[in-house]
Chain A
Amino acid sequence: DAGVIQSPRHEVTEMGQEVTLRCKPISGHDYLFWYRQTMMRGLELLIYFNNNVPIDDSGMPEDRFSAKMPNASFSTLKIQPSEPRDSAVYFCASSLAGADLRYEQFFGPGTRLTVL
C-alpha cells in the first residue's frame, strides 16, 4: 500500500483565493482525520470522519473551512476565502478501529500551505 496520499504537497496562494487540499486514505481504513500544524498551536485536530460521515468538526476554526468525504477513498479540505493566518501544514491521517478501539493513525506527508 502506498500509505496516505495528500496533494498538493505545497500550495502558495493569495489571500481571498479558494484552496482545496486532497487526501486518499489507506484502503480499508474507516476513519479519516484532518489536522493542522503551526508553530504557535502545534498539531490540532480539525475534523474526522467515520465511514465517510463527519463525526466531530469542533476543531474547524470557522465557516471558511469545510471538509467532505464523498467516498471511502477520497476526502477534501476546502478553505474559502483563504487568509494569511491559514498558513500551516495540513495533515491527513487514516486508521482502523478495532473491536476494543485500539488503533494507530497513519499520517500522510502533509500539504504546506502558504497564503500571501
Chain B
Amino acid sequence: DAKTTQPPSMDCAEGRAANLPCNHSTISGNEYVYWYRQIHSQGPQYIIHGLKNNETNEMASLIITEDRKSSTLILPHATLRDTAVYYCIVRVQTGGSYIPTFGRGTSLIVHP
C-alpha cells in the first residue's frame, strides 16, 4: 500500500501562493492522489484529486510529477481562511474497496 510523506508544518504570507509538497514514492499505477483539508474543529473537506495529469479547480491546483512519486498542492492566493491541516492521501485498497488513510498532514498557517 502506498504511503505519503508531508512536512509537518508550513507557513505562507496572505496573498502569496502556498505550495504544499507530498511524497508518495510507492504509489501504484492505478492509485489516485487526493487532497483534503481540515479547518480547526471542522470535519475534513475534499479539495482535489488526480491520477497523472495536473488538475485545477476553484480551490486549488494539483501538480503530479511524471513518475508520480510526488505531488504539490498549490493554493494560488492564500487567505487567512486557508489556515488548516492539509492531508495528502493515496487511496489504499482494503478488502476490495478503496479507502483513504489519513496521515498527520501539513499544518499550514497563513499569516497577514
B45 interfacial contact with A, CB 8 Å: yes
Q: Which of B15-23, B60-68, B71-79, B96-104 forms part of the interface with chain A?
A: B96-104
Task: Please tell me which one of the listed residues B32, B41, B46, B104 contacts residue A106 in the complex, with CB atoms under 8 A apart.
Answer: B46
**A27→B100 CA distance, assembly (Å):** 21
Decide: A42 near B104, CB < 8 A? Known: A56-B99, A102-B49, A110-B43. yes
B101 contact set on A, CB distance < 8 A: 45
Q: Mark B residues whose CB is within 8 Å of A.
A: 32, 34, 36, 38, 41-46, 49, 87, 91, 94-95, 97-105
Most buried by B among A4, A43, A91: A43
A97 contact set on B, CB distance < 8 A: 97
A34 interfacial contact with B, CB 8 Å: no
A101 interfacial contact with B, CB 8 Å: yes
Question: Contact between B103 and A104 (Cβ–Cβ < 8 Å)?
Answer: no
CB contacts under 8 Å to B, within A85-102, are 91, 93, 97, 101-102
* Closest A residue, CB atoms, query B87: A43
**A42→B89 CA distance, assembly (Å):** 14
Listed by A's residue number, 8 A-B pairs whose Cβ atoms lie within 8 Å are A31-B97, A43-B87, A50-B97, A56-B97, A56-B99, A104-B34, A105-B46, A110-B42
A25 interfacial contact with B, CB 8 Å: no
Question: Contact between A55 and B44 (Cβ–Cβ < 8 Å)?
Answer: no
* Closest A residue, CB atoms, query B43: A107
CB distance from A52 to the nearest CB of B (A): 14
